[in-house]
Amino acid sequence: MTRTVGVDDPQDVPVGGGSRLSGLTATLLRSRTELAILLGMVVVLALMPAVVSGQLLTIAVRVLLFGLLGVAWNVMGGFAGQFSFGHAAFFGLGAYTTGVLLVEVGLSPWIGMAVGAVVAAIYGALEGWLSFRYKLQGAYFALATFAFAEMLRLFVLRSDALNGAVGYRVPLLPESSWWMLQFPPDSPNYYFVMLGLLTLALVVVILLVRSTPGLFILAIRENEPAAEAAGVSATKYKVTAVALSAAMTAVGGSFYLMFFFFIDPEIAFGPRLSVEILLPAIIGGVGTIWGPAIGAVLLIGLGELSTMLVRNPPAFLSFLDGRSGVDLLIFALLLIGIILFLPRGVYGTFANRVQR
Binding residues for other proteins, per CB under 8 A? 2-3, 77, 83, 85, 130, 133-136, 138-140, 142-144, 146-148, 150-151, 154-155, 157-158, 271, 275, 278-279, 282, 286, 323-326, 328-329, 331-333, 335-336, 339-340, 343
Tell me the closest approach of the beta carbon of residue 305 to other proteins, in angstroms: 16
Which residue, 147 or 232, has its beta carbon nearer to other proteins?
Answer: 147
Residues pairing with 263 in the sheet:
168
Which residue, 184 or 325, has its beta carbon nearer to other proteins?
Answer: 325
Which residue, 171 or 301, has its beta carbon nearer to other proteins?
Answer: 301
Q: How far apart are CA 56 and CA 62, in angstroms?
A: 10
Which residue, 27 or 131, has its beta carbon nearer to other proteins?
Answer: 131
Type of residue numbered 238: K
Rounded to 10 deg, the angle between the 189-210 and 55-74 helix axes is: 20
Sequence-distant (6+) residues with CB within 8 A of 229 are none
Q: How far apart are CA 337 and CA 222, in angstroms?
A: 28
Q: What angle do CA 103, 106, 108 make, to 5 degrees?
A: 105
Note whether 112 and 97 are within 8 A (CB).
yes
Tell me the closest approach of the beta carbon of residue 144 to other proteins, in angstroms: 5
Type of residue numbered 176: S
Which residue, 196 or 337, has its beta carbon nearer to other proteins?
Answer: 337
Which residue, 29 or 130, has its beta carbon nearer to other proteins?
Answer: 130
Q: How far apart are CA 243 and CA 237, in angstroms?
A: 10
Tell me the closest approach of the beta carbon of residue 332 to other proteins, in angstroms: 4
Which residue, 32 or 133, has its beta carbon nearer to other proteins?
Answer: 133
Tell me the closest approach of the beta carbon of residue 88 to other proteins, in angstroms: 13
3-state SS assignment for residue 75: helix
- Our measurement of the distance from residue 74's CA atom to the centroid of its chain's CA atoms, rounded to an integer in Å, reads 7
* 263: enclosing H helix or E strand: strand 262-263
Tell me the closest approach of the beta carbon of residue 55 to other proteins, in angstroms: 24
Which residue, 69 or 279, has its beta carbon nearer to other proteins?
Answer: 279
Tell me the closest approach of the beta carbon of residue 141 to other proteins, in angstroms: 9
Tell me the closest approach of the beta carbon of residue 348 to other proteins, in angstroms: 11
Tell me the closest approach of the beta carbon of residue 118 to other proteins, in angstroms: 24
Note whether 149 and 269 are within 8 A (CB).
yes
Q: How far apart are CA 131 and CA 142, in angstroms?
A: 10
Sequence-distant (6+) residues with CB within 8 A of 16 are none
